[in-house]
């Protein structure tokens, strides 16, 4: 089977690609196990060389429908649509956010529709679709009220995925991801960048500035569990998704203060001493609007899993990315 990953050069895209190549198969549109014969990665910048003949790397703008028509045809069985402009950037550059987070999603769905073969489309959404006055634990029945352009664009794309699925244009699955922590690499323009930075930088011996209060509650998922959830979300039988294509993934609910305590529990007191707290109102305004937890009963019933604790997330980061512990 042929699989496409948009945002394939990104952090999650690369990790998903490695996992799919190692796994070698997915459930096809016919509900049969199918070997992955081609894995296409499209992104603005070239994905790295995987040294695997199944991989095809394409560089291009996914907001150009012509580009999408080149990489999606009737043989494309499954699409993991991960490409996005992150929250802080979408707030700073409204037009860019609309173009990538909304228009590209719609173009992708329209190209699938034109092919007429109902491919699986796995779309990643976000905590940022929620906002305003929220219950302590958000429910599937809780209204979306995004307080950022990023959240608005994700919420609109969720609606499209659901309607295109209802009409039989695609077999869509919207996975709402908790904030991913700990991301390796450099800080990015996501408002939630600190949720990785306050762990990653101190473990690398660098100072970290936390722009939010220690009392802020976050809903987190490790990169490893996120990739597992993307694949598990792909594997769910369409018949199990009646009513809604949108699934709130399991997460770990912790305050920033508890994150720092977990860091200390796993790595000793030295890293936490490198964290300073300097409030950033622009970041706080966005991040404070996100839920600190949501109910994931439906996700769990569908076989999706999160992490055990934030300590286990920190430990996994140290093992996988730093090669220690």
Catalytic site residues?
A: 150
Is residue 118 involved in binding its own copies (CB under 8 A)? no
Number of residues binding to its own copies, judged by CB under 8 A: 24
Distance between CA atoms of residues 304 and 294, nearest Å: 14
Is residue 149 involved in binding its own copies (CB under 8 A)? yes
Q: Closest distance between its own copies and the C-beta of residue 113, in Å? A: 9
DSSP state of 105: H
Is residue 22 involved in binding its own copies (CB under 8 A)? no
Q: Pick from 165, 294, 145: which is nearest to 218 by CA? A: 294
Q: Closest distance between its own copies and the C-beta of residue 153, in Å? A: 8
The only residue of 30, 116, 133, 269 in contact with its own copies, by rule CB under 8 A: 133
Distance between CA atoms of residues 63 and 67, nearest Å: 8
The only residue of 93, 140, 235, 320 in contact with its own copies, by rule CB under 8 A: 140
Q: Closest distance between its own copies and the C-beta of residue 171, in Å? A: 17
Between 168 and 268, name the residue whose CB sits nearer to its own copies.
168
Q: Closest distance between its own copies and the C-beta of residue 61, in Å? A: 20
End-to-end CA distance of the chain: 38
Is residue 284 involved in binding its own copies (CB under 8 A)? no
**Cross-strand bridge partners of residue 76:** 2
Residues 6+ apart with CB under 8 A from 100: 62, 63, 83, 84, 85
| Alpha carbon distances (Å) from 35 to 2, 16, 131 | 9, 16, 41
Is residue 145 involved in binding its own copies (CB under 8 A)? yes
Between 140 and 228, name the residue whose CB sits nearer to its own copies.
140
Looking only at residues 156 through 185 of this chain, which bind its own copies when binding is defined by CB under 8 A? 156, 159-160, 162-163, 166-167
Reduced to 3 states, what is the DSSP secondary structure of residue 257? helix
Between 51 and 167, name the residue whose CB sits nearer to its own copies.
167
Q: Pick from 112, 126, 125, 101: which is nearest to 167 by CA? A: 112
x-marked contacts with its own copies along 231-270 as a string, rule CB under 8 A: ------------xx--------------------------
Q: Pick from 87, 97, 109, 112: which is nearest to 282 by CA? A: 87
Residues 6+ apart with CB under 8 A from 4: 39, 40, 42, 71, 72, 76, 78, 79, 80
Which of these ranges, 154-162, 226-234, 302-310, 311-319, lies near its own copies under the rule CB under 8 A? 154-162
The only residue of 49, 141, 237, 269 in contact with its own copies, by rule CB under 8 A: 141
DSSP annotation string for 6-33: ETTTSHHHHHHHHHHHHH-EEE-TTSSE
Q: Closest distance between its own copies and the C-beta of residue 156, in Å? A: 5
Looking only at residues 86 through 105 of this chain, which bind its own copies when binding is defined by CB under 8 A? 94
Q: Closest distance between its own copies and the C-beta of residue 108, in Å? A: 15
Between 76 and 149, name the residue whose CB sits nearer to its own copies.
149
Distance between CA atoms of residues 143 and 100, nearest Å: 24
Cα–Cα–Cα angle for 45, 60, 195, rounded to 5 degrees: 45
Residues near its own copies (CB under 8 A) are 94, 132-133, 135, 140-147, 149, 152, 155-156, 159-160, 162-163, 166-167, 243-244
């Amino acid at each position: 089977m042929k699989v496409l990953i948009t945002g394939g050069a990104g952090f999650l895209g690369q990790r998903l690609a490695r996992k799919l190549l190692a796994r070698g198969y997915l459930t096809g549109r016919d509900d049969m196990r199918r070997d992955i014969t081609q894995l296409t990665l499209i992104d603005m910048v070239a994905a790295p060389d995987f040294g695997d003949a199944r991989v095809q790397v394409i560089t291009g703008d996914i907001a150009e429908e012509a580009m999408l028509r080149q990489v999606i045809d009737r043989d494309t069985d499954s699409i993991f649509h991960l490409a996005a402009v992150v929250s802080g950037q979408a707030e700073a550059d409204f037009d860019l956010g609309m173009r990538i987070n909304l228009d590209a999603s719609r173009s992708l769905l329209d190209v699938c529709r034109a092919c007429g073969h109902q491919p699986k489309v796995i779309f990643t959404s976000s905590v940022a679709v929620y906002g305003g006055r929220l219950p302590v634990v958000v429910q599937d029945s809780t209204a979306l009220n995004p307080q950022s352009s990023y959240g608005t664009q994700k919420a609109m794309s969720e609606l499209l995925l659901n309607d295109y699925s209802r009409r039989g244009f695609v077999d869509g699955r919207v996975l709402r991801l908790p904030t991913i922590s700990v991301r390796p690499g450099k800080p990015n323009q996501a408002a939630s960048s600190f949720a990785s930075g306050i762990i990653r930088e101190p473990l690398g011996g660098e100072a970290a500035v936390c722009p939010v209060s220690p009392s802020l509650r976050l809903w987190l998922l490790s990169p490893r569990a996120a990739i597992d959830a993307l694949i598990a979300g792909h594997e769910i039988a369409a018949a199990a998704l009646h009513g809604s294509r949108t699934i709130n993934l399991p997460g770990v609910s912790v305050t920033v203060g508890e994150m720092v305590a977990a860091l200390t529990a796993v790595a000793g007191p030295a890293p936490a001493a490198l964290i300073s707290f300097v409030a950033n109102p622009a970041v706080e305004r966005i991040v404070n609007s996100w839920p600190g937890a949501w109910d994931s009963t439906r996700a769990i019933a569908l076989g999706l899993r999160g992490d055990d604790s934030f300590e286990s997330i920190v430990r996994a980061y140290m093992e996988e990315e730093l090669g220690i512990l």
